[in-house]
Structure 1
Amino acid sequence: MDYQFKAGSIPLLVSMPHVGTDIPGDVLAAMTPAAVDRQDTDWHLVRLYAFLGEMGASVLSARWSRYVIDLNRPPENTNLYPGQDTTGLCPVDTFHREPLYLPGRAPDEAEVQRRLQAYWKPYHDQLRAELDRLLALHGRVVLWDAHSIASHVPRFFEGKLPDLNFGTADGKSCAPGLTEAVVARADGGYTIAVNGRFKGGHITRFYGEPAKGIHAIQLEMCQSTYMDEDAPYGYREDLASQVRQPLRAMMQAAADWVRA
């Protein structure tokens, strides 16, 4: 299976497109040791969000590493942040500009198209199908796109990133009331940004259609809130137990809002 999926009973779907760590053997054979490290993974999010099962939310999480193909990029590989540096649909370097491929082994256009069909499309087909199912059952649905990132990545932003970064495509992907309800529960002393450096990726921007009842919001969390940011990227229950409380409260706020 190209992803992990569990259907829920409430109008809330949580997508985790960057938690995957698998790399097919034929792809890995062309890659550098930097790729083997998989440092840009959204580590441990499935564990951090483990309470979703009790809530009755649907959960879709990736199997394949973002180094194989980035599920949160548009299939046309357009830059989501024009004028700013970013990695592409099939990244050729890490967030720290380390090459992912051996000389002459980077994927050509034919290989990119193959990966789109083999790895990108199945995830998005399931995402679309579940949104349609929940929409038919409940009339409207919240799509929560869950991400995490190292707190310091000079390539993309200066200094330290705020702890909790919400993106709604500058208010286009969901109703203002959802954003307000969620952010109001983001307490616990964590720093917060809304539509700052991260405004939501392809999933948030493409699927979020408030006029049609689909309200999409992205949360990009600093990994320093729940894990060690250096290899081997260990999970820190002492930190996770603290951030999990406002995280669960935010998810509950989203679920309550969409059912109101």
Structure 2
Amino acid sequence: MIPADLYSCKRGTSALILSIPHSGVHLPAGLAPRMTPKARRLPDTDWRVDELYDFAAEMGATVLKAHYSRYVVDLNRPPGGETLYPDRPVTGFCPLELFDGTPVYRRGCEPDREEIEHRLLTYWQPYHDRLEVELANSCERHGHAVLYDCHSIAPAVPRLFDGHLPALNLGTNHGSSCASAMQDSVTERLLDCGYTYAVNGRFVGGYITRHYGQPERARHALQMEIAYDAYMDGATPDTYSLHKAVRLKACLQRILEVLVLLG
């Protein structure tokens, strides 16, 4: 049975669709006791990213937000478990390790193949089915769709990337997931915002960007990965900084305004 609280979706009036796959914190009954104490704190969550974009619906964007933790299933990974970054450790479809390489589960409590298949059908597929519905609806109404995938991460994760991450990281699968004019326009806004940024640097887009970004079908997709320290003073949700968030949201709003206009 598909959980009634699997995701929320507010349909907008523009061609812009926001996907927020990793800010959820729900766990199905019985899962938490199988997890390590550290994993139960959900350390790799995209903390409060939905709040950074709380203005998007008023701009006419459709907002699709997952409510379950990425440790249940990672909605931004391919269902077959293929690696997205061959030169880096795999962060899997049903993660067995935290980003720092420590285990998600207590020994002997890992999901078996049957449970993984259940999670695919129960948590992963319905989110993607709804995303496809919204993309198709946007194309039907506007002739095109612009998908913006919202993420955040700790600014330093040595196991996944070297050094300190820029504040804003735009990914377009090396320019193949959206029109070049769209990437260029967003890059101009990044330059104007005054934050450190990268375009197709460490993050070029996950499964959502790569799979749904098909500009030849008038379906454009971009991923924005934000470093925690651009809007928080630490790595937990209670360190959210209103002062930092106000400034960052003004930048993000300018980026989405461009996408609405281009869309």
TM-score (norm 2): 0.96
Extract unaligned runs of 5+ from structure 2.
none
Aligned to 1:53: 57
Matched, 1:238 2:237: no
Per-residue Cα deviation, 1:176-212 (whole angstroms, up to 9, x for no partner): 1001111111223211111111010000000011010
> How far off its partner does 1:234 sit?
2.4
Structure 1, 81-90 or 125-134: larger mean CA deviation: 81-90
Indicate conservation of the 8 Å contact 2:228/2:235, yes or no.
Answer: no
Aligned length: 258
Indicate conservation of the 8 Å contact 1:167/1:218, yes or no.
Answer: yes
Indicate conservation of the 8 Å contact 2:48/2:237, yes or no.
Answer: no
> Which runs of 4 or more aligned residues in structure 1 lie more than 6 Å from their structure 2 counterparts after TM superposition?
none
Aligned to 1:147: 151
Q: For 2:258 and 2:177, how far apart are their aligned partners in 1? A: 17
Letter in 2 for 1:74: P
Aligned to 1:223: 228
**Within-5 A mapping of 1:80-229:** 80-186=84-190, 187-229=192-234
Per-residue Cα deviation, 1:43-75 (whole angstroms, up to 9, x for no partner): 111111011121010000111100111000001
Q: For 2:90 and 2:38, how far apart are their aligned partners in 1? A: 18
Indicate conservation of the 8 Å contact 1:43/1:233, yes or no.
Answer: no
Q: For 2:237 and 2:50, how far apart are their aligned partners in 1? A: 17
Q: For 1:235 and 1:84, how far apart are their aligned partners in 2? A: 29
SS in 2 for 1:241: helix
Indicate conservation of the 8 Å contact 2:154/2:235, yes or no.
Answer: no
Per-residue Cα deviation, 1:209-250 (whole angstroms, up to 9, x for no partner): 101000000000111011132335421110001111111000
Letter in 2 for 1:251: L
Extract unaligned runs of 5+ from structure 1.
none
Q: For 1:229 and 1:205, how far apart are their aligned partners in 2? A: 30
Q: For 2:179 and 2:236, how far apart are their aligned partners in 1? A: 39
Matched, 1:44 2:48: yes
Indicate conservation of the 8 Å contact 1:72/1:202, yes or no.
Answer: yes
Structure 1, 187-196 or 13-22: larger mean CA deviation: 187-196
Q: For 2:116 and 2:87, how far apart are their aligned partners in 1? A: 23
Matched, 1:23 2:27: yes
Per-residue Cα deviation, 1:110-129 (whole angstroms, up to 9, x for no partner): 11111000110111011000
Structure 1, 5-14 or 178-187: larger mean CA deviation: 178-187
Q: For 2:76 and 2:126, how far apart are their aligned partners in 1? A: 13
SS in 2 for 1:221: strand
SS in 2 for 1:111: helix
> How far off its partner does 1:26 sit?
2.0
Letter in 1 for 2:56: L
Q: For 1:87 and 1:60, how far apart are their aligned partners in 2? A: 23
SS in 1 for 2:19: strand
Pairwise CA RMSD of aligned residues?
Answer: 1.0
Indicate conservation of the 8 Å contact 2:25/2:45, yes or no.
Answer: yes
Q: Percent identity?
A: 45
Q: For 2:50 and 2:20, how far apart are their aligned partners in 1? A: 8
Aligned to 2:69: 65
SS in 2 for 1:116: helix
SS in 2 for 1:190: coil
Letter in 2 for 1:70: D
